[in-house]
Chains A and B, each alone.
Chain A
Protein backbone atom coordinates (compact mmCIF):
# COMPACT_ATOMS: atom_id res chain seq x y z
CA UNK A 1 0.00 0.00 0.00
CA UNK A 2 3.01 2.31 0.20
CA UNK A 3 3.25 1.59 -3.53
CA UNK A 4 0.20 3.75 -4.11
CA UNK A 5 2.07 6.76 -2.76
CA UNK A 6 4.89 6.66 -5.31
CA UNK A 7 4.99 9.91 -7.26
CA UNK A 8 2.74 11.76 -4.80
CA UNK A 9 3.80 15.20 -3.61
CA UNK A 10 2.95 17.38 -0.65
CA UNK A 11 1.48 20.84 -1.00
CA UNK A 12 4.42 23.32 -0.84
CA UNK A 13 5.03 25.10 2.46
CA UNK A 14 6.87 28.42 2.85
CA UNK A 15 9.64 28.26 5.46
CA UNK A 16 11.90 31.04 6.67
CA UNK A 17 15.57 30.42 7.45
CA UNK A 18 15.09 32.06 10.81
CA UNK A 19 18.14 33.55 12.56
CA UNK A 20 17.26 32.20 15.99
CA UNK A 21 16.50 28.74 14.61
CA UNK A 22 19.84 28.63 12.77
CA UNK A 23 21.72 29.62 15.92
CA UNK A 24 19.90 27.05 18.06
CA UNK A 25 20.49 24.38 15.44
CA UNK A 26 24.20 25.21 15.02
CA UNK A 27 24.66 25.04 18.79
CA UNK A 28 22.80 21.72 19.00
CA UNK A 29 25.28 20.10 16.60
CA UNK A 30 28.23 21.68 18.41
CA UNK A 31 29.04 23.96 15.49
CA UNK A 32 28.65 27.60 16.58
CA UNK A 33 30.84 28.84 13.72
CA UNK A 34 30.61 32.64 13.24
CA UNK A 35 29.57 32.16 9.58
CA UNK A 36 26.28 30.76 10.97
CA UNK A 37 25.67 33.05 13.94
CA UNK A 38 27.80 36.23 13.98
CA UNK A 39 25.96 39.00 12.11
CA UNK A 40 29.07 41.06 11.36
CA UNK A 41 31.00 38.03 10.03
CA UNK A 42 27.94 37.18 7.94
CA UNK A 43 27.77 40.67 6.44
CA UNK A 44 31.47 40.64 5.58
CA UNK A 45 31.32 37.13 4.11
CA UNK A 46 30.98 36.44 0.41
CA UNK A 47 27.30 35.58 1.04
CA UNK A 48 26.56 39.03 2.49
CA UNK A 49 24.72 37.38 5.37
CA UNK A 50 24.94 34.35 7.65
CA UNK A 51 24.31 30.93 6.16
CA UNK A 52 22.79 27.76 7.63
CA UNK A 53 24.57 24.43 8.23
CA UNK A 54 23.99 21.84 5.46
CA UNK A 55 21.72 19.62 7.56
CA UNK A 56 19.53 22.58 8.65
CA UNK A 57 16.62 21.54 6.35
CA UNK A 58 15.82 18.95 9.05
CA UNK A 59 14.02 21.88 10.67
CA UNK A 60 11.81 22.72 7.66
CA UNK A 61 8.20 21.76 7.18
CA UNK A 62 7.89 19.95 3.85
CA UNK A 63 4.15 19.43 4.11
CA UNK A 64 2.31 16.13 4.28
CA UNK A 65 1.54 13.65 1.57
CA UNK A 66 -2.13 12.79 1.50
CA UNK A 67 -3.08 9.19 2.29
CA UNK A 68 0.44 8.29 3.41
CA UNK A 69 0.19 7.06 6.98
CA UNK A 70 3.63 6.67 8.46
CA UNK A 71 3.89 5.55 12.06
CA UNK A 72 5.61 8.05 14.36
CA UNK A 73 7.73 5.33 15.96
CA UNK A 74 9.87 2.44 14.83
CA UNK A 75 11.15 3.79 11.53
CA UNK A 76 14.83 3.45 10.74
CA UNK A 77 16.68 6.18 8.90
CA UNK A 78 18.87 4.39 6.36
CA UNK A 79 20.37 7.04 4.14
CA UNK A 80 20.37 10.78 3.67
CA UNK A 81 21.68 12.81 0.73
CA UNK A 82 21.76 16.61 0.52
CA UNK A 83 22.55 18.36 -2.74
CA UNK A 84 23.04 22.11 -2.83
CA UNK A 85 23.29 24.68 -5.60
CA UNK A 86 24.34 27.21 -2.95
CA UNK A 87 24.14 27.48 0.86
CA UNK A 88 20.90 28.57 2.56
CA UNK A 89 20.98 32.22 3.65
CA UNK A 90 19.65 33.44 6.98
CA UNK A 91 16.45 35.41 6.52
CA UNK A 92 15.42 34.02 3.15
CA UNK A 93 12.14 32.30 2.34
CA UNK A 94 12.38 28.74 1.11
CA UNK A 95 9.40 26.92 -0.38
CA UNK A 96 9.55 23.26 0.55
CA UNK A 97 7.75 20.15 -0.59
CA UNK A 98 8.34 16.43 -0.51
CA UNK A 99 7.72 13.60 -2.93
CA UNK A 100 7.60 9.81 -2.55
CA UNK A 101 10.20 8.60 -5.05
CA UNK A 102 10.06 4.87 -4.55
CA UNK A 103 8.94 1.98 -2.42
CA UNK A 104 10.29 -1.57 -2.47
CA UNK A 105 10.56 -4.58 -0.21
CA UNK A 106 13.50 -6.85 0.53
CA UNK A 107 13.95 -9.93 2.65
CA UNK A 108 16.37 -9.29 5.49
CA UNK A 109 17.50 -11.01 8.67
CA UNK A 110 14.49 -9.63 10.52
CA UNK A 111 11.93 -10.62 7.93
CA UNK A 112 10.63 -8.54 5.07
CA UNK A 113 11.72 -4.91 5.21
CA UNK A 114 10.08 -2.01 3.40
CA UNK A 115 12.20 0.79 1.93
CA UNK A 116 10.51 4.12 1.37
CA UNK A 117 12.43 6.80 -0.54
CA UNK A 118 11.52 10.46 -0.21
CA UNK A 119 12.93 13.45 -2.03
CA UNK A 120 12.53 16.86 -0.43
CA UNK A 121 12.93 20.09 -2.38
CA UNK A 122 13.69 23.66 -1.32
CA UNK A 123 13.27 26.52 -3.78
CA UNK A 124 14.05 30.22 -3.35
CA UNK A 125 12.05 33.38 -4.12
CA UNK A 126 13.04 33.14 -7.80
CA UNK A 127 11.72 29.58 -7.95
CA UNK A 128 15.21 28.13 -8.28
CA UNK A 129 16.12 24.95 -6.44
CA UNK A 130 18.52 25.68 -3.56
CA UNK A 131 18.72 22.12 -2.30
CA UNK A 132 17.24 18.66 -2.49
CA UNK A 133 17.31 16.12 0.33
CA UNK A 134 16.82 12.44 -0.34
CA UNK A 135 15.92 10.17 2.50
CA UNK A 136 15.62 6.42 2.72
CA UNK A 137 13.36 5.16 5.49
CA UNK A 138 13.30 1.50 6.47
CA UNK A 139 10.09 0.00 7.82
CA UNK A 140 10.17 -3.42 9.41
CA UNK A 141 7.49 -6.07 9.02
CA UNK A 142 5.85 -5.59 12.42
CA UNK A 143 5.31 -1.91 11.81
CA UNK A 144 4.11 -2.46 8.27
CA UNK A 145 1.44 -4.87 9.52
CA UNK A 146 0.33 -2.36 12.15
CA UNK A 147 -0.09 0.35 9.53
CA UNK A 148 -1.93 -1.92 7.13
CA UNK A 149 -4.38 -3.14 9.74
CA UNK A 150 -5.53 0.42 10.46
Chain B
Protein backbone atom coordinates (compact mmCIF):
# COMPACT_ATOMS: atom_id res chain seq x y z
CA UNK B 1 0.00 0.00 0.00
CA UNK B 2 1.23 3.46 -0.84
CA UNK B 3 1.88 5.46 2.28
CA UNK B 4 0.13 8.77 2.59
CA UNK B 5 3.27 10.88 2.53
CA UNK B 6 4.29 9.35 -0.82
CA UNK B 7 1.03 10.41 -2.45
CA UNK B 8 1.08 13.24 -4.96
CA UNK B 9 -1.75 15.52 -6.02
CA UNK B 10 -3.94 13.56 -8.41
CA UNK B 11 -2.99 10.18 -6.92
CA UNK B 12 -5.66 7.90 -5.48
CA UNK B 13 -5.89 5.66 -2.46
CA UNK B 14 -6.36 2.01 -3.40
CA UNK B 15 -10.00 1.85 -4.55
CA UNK B 16 -12.39 -0.83 -3.34
CA UNK B 17 -15.21 -2.57 -5.25
CA UNK B 18 -17.91 -3.81 -2.88
CA UNK B 19 -19.82 -7.06 -3.32
CA UNK B 20 -23.27 -6.54 -4.87
CA UNK B 21 -25.54 -4.86 -2.30
CA UNK B 22 -27.69 -7.46 -0.53
CA UNK B 23 -30.76 -7.18 1.64
CA UNK B 24 -28.78 -8.70 4.49
CA UNK B 25 -26.22 -5.86 4.25
CA UNK B 26 -29.02 -3.37 4.83
CA UNK B 27 -30.70 -5.41 7.58
CA UNK B 28 -27.34 -5.55 9.40
CA UNK B 29 -26.84 -1.81 9.01
CA UNK B 30 -30.38 -1.12 10.24
CA UNK B 31 -29.65 -3.18 13.35
CA UNK B 32 -26.19 -1.73 13.97
CA UNK B 33 -27.19 1.90 13.38
CA UNK B 34 -30.71 1.87 14.78
CA UNK B 35 -32.11 3.29 11.54
CA UNK B 36 -35.16 1.10 10.93
CA UNK B 37 -36.79 3.21 8.23
CA UNK B 38 -38.53 0.35 6.37
CA UNK B 39 -37.73 1.70 2.87
CA UNK B 40 -34.29 0.16 3.42
CA UNK B 41 -35.45 -3.35 4.24
CA UNK B 42 -39.08 -4.05 3.26
CA UNK B 43 -40.14 -4.13 -0.41
CA UNK B 44 -43.77 -3.05 0.10
CA UNK B 45 -42.74 -0.03 2.16
CA UNK B 46 -40.23 1.02 -0.48
CA UNK B 47 -42.82 0.64 -3.24
CA UNK B 48 -45.42 2.58 -1.26
CA UNK B 49 -42.89 5.37 -0.97
CA UNK B 50 -42.64 5.45 -4.77
CA UNK B 51 -39.24 3.78 -4.95
CA UNK B 52 -38.24 1.09 -7.45
CA UNK B 53 -37.36 -1.20 -4.54
CA UNK B 54 -35.51 -1.06 -1.25
CA UNK B 55 -32.60 1.36 -1.24
CA UNK B 56 -29.45 1.44 0.87
CA UNK B 57 -29.24 3.85 3.78
CA UNK B 58 -27.22 6.84 2.59
CA UNK B 59 -25.22 6.47 5.80
CA UNK B 60 -24.43 2.85 4.94
CA UNK B 61 -22.71 4.03 1.78
CA UNK B 62 -21.01 6.88 3.64
CA UNK B 63 -19.84 4.43 6.30
CA UNK B 64 -18.42 2.10 3.68
CA UNK B 65 -16.59 4.88 1.87
CA UNK B 66 -14.63 5.84 5.01
CA UNK B 67 -12.89 2.46 5.04
CA UNK B 68 -10.47 3.68 2.37
CA UNK B 69 -8.80 5.50 5.29
CA UNK B 70 -8.92 2.77 7.97
CA UNK B 71 -5.28 1.72 7.40
CA UNK B 72 -4.09 5.25 8.13
CA UNK B 73 -5.24 5.79 11.72
CA UNK B 74 -1.73 5.29 13.13
CA UNK B 75 -0.51 8.39 11.32
CA UNK B 76 -3.59 10.59 11.53
CA UNK B 77 -7.37 10.73 11.51
CA UNK B 78 -10.34 12.01 9.49
CA UNK B 79 -10.81 15.59 10.62
CA UNK B 80 -13.63 16.39 8.24
CA UNK B 81 -15.91 14.11 6.23
CA UNK B 82 -18.45 15.88 4.07
CA UNK B 83 -20.92 14.04 1.85
CA UNK B 84 -23.72 14.90 -0.54
CA UNK B 85 -26.24 12.15 -1.18
CA UNK B 86 -26.86 12.22 -4.91
CA UNK B 87 -28.37 8.97 -6.11
CA UNK B 88 -30.04 5.83 -4.83
CA UNK B 89 -28.18 2.60 -4.20
CA UNK B 90 -30.39 -0.35 -5.11
CA UNK B 91 -30.13 -4.07 -4.38
CA UNK B 92 -27.40 -5.81 -6.42
CA UNK B 93 -25.69 -2.53 -7.30
CA UNK B 94 -21.93 -2.86 -7.44
CA UNK B 95 -20.38 0.11 -5.68
CA UNK B 96 -16.84 1.37 -6.20
CA UNK B 97 -15.20 3.49 -3.49
CA UNK B 98 -12.65 6.10 -4.51
CA UNK B 99 -10.49 8.78 -2.90
CA UNK B 100 -8.28 11.13 -4.92
CA UNK B 101 -5.79 13.50 -3.35
CA UNK B 102 -6.59 17.03 -4.54
CA UNK B 103 -4.54 19.18 -2.18
CA UNK B 104 -1.90 19.04 0.56
CA UNK B 105 -1.44 21.78 3.13
CA UNK B 106 1.12 21.12 5.86
CA UNK B 107 -0.40 18.35 7.99
CA UNK B 108 -3.71 18.19 6.08
CA UNK B 109 -4.49 16.02 3.05
CA UNK B 110 -7.61 16.93 1.06
CA UNK B 111 -9.32 14.10 -0.80
CA UNK B 112 -12.22 14.09 -3.21
CA UNK B 113 -14.20 10.97 -2.35
CA UNK B 114 -17.04 9.19 -4.12
CA UNK B 115 -19.04 5.98 -4.24
CA UNK B 116 -20.20 5.18 -7.78
CA UNK B 117 -22.43 2.43 -9.10
CA UNK B 118 -21.83 -0.03 -11.95
CA UNK B 119 -23.00 2.57 -14.51
CA UNK B 120 -20.47 5.09 -13.25
CA UNK B 121 -23.15 7.20 -11.58
CA UNK B 122 -22.23 8.79 -8.26
CA UNK B 123 -24.37 7.69 -5.34
CA UNK B 124 -22.52 9.92 -2.91
CA UNK B 125 -19.58 12.27 -3.22
CA UNK B 126 -17.73 14.78 -1.14
CA UNK B 127 -14.50 15.51 0.63
CA UNK B 128 -12.29 14.07 3.33
CA UNK B 129 -9.70 16.10 5.19
CA UNK B 130 -7.18 13.72 6.68
CA UNK B 131 -4.99 15.27 9.35
CA UNK B 132 -1.65 13.69 10.21
CA UNK B 133 -0.22 13.91 13.74
Contacts and interface: CB of A to CB of B under 8 A. Distances in A.
Interface string A25-56: 10111110101100000000111000101110
Contact of B31 (A24, A36, A45, A86): A24
A59 B66 contact: no
Q: How large is the interface on B (under 10, 10 to 19, 20 to 34, 35 or more residues)?
A: 35 or more
Contacts of B70: 31, 33, 35-36, 53
Interface stretch (B1-9, B76-84, B102-110): B76-84
Interface stretch (A1-9, A76-84, A99-107, A113-121): A76-84
Contact of B73 (A21, A25, A51, A85): A51
A9 to B, nearest CB: 21
Nearest to A60: B34
A74 B39 CA distance: 9
Given A54-B66, A74-B49, A81 B29 contact: no
Nearest to A86: B77
Nearest to A72: B37
A58 interface: yes
Contacts of B35: 58
Contacts of A45: 73-74
Report the interface size class on chain A. 35 or more
A91 interface: no
Given A29-B66, A51-B73, A78-B85, 19 more contacts: A21-B32, A29-B29, A29-B67, A33-B67, A33-B71, A53-B63, A55-B62, A55-B63, A55-B66, A58-B35, A58-B59, A73-B39, A74-B49, A79-B85, A80-B59, A80-B62, A81-B82, A83-B80, A87-B78
19 contacts: A25-B32, A29-B32, A29-B64, A29-B67, A31-B63, A33-B70, A53-B66, A54-B66, A54-B81, A55-B62, A55-B66, A58-B59, A59-B34, A73-B49, A79-B83, A80-B82, A80-B85, A84-B78, A87-B73
Interface of A: 21, 24-25, 27-31, 33, 35-36, 45-47, 51, 53-55, 58-59, 72-74, 76-87
Interface of B: 18, 25, 28-29, 31-35, 37-39, 49, 58-60, 62-64, 66-67, 70-71, 73-74, 77-85, 133
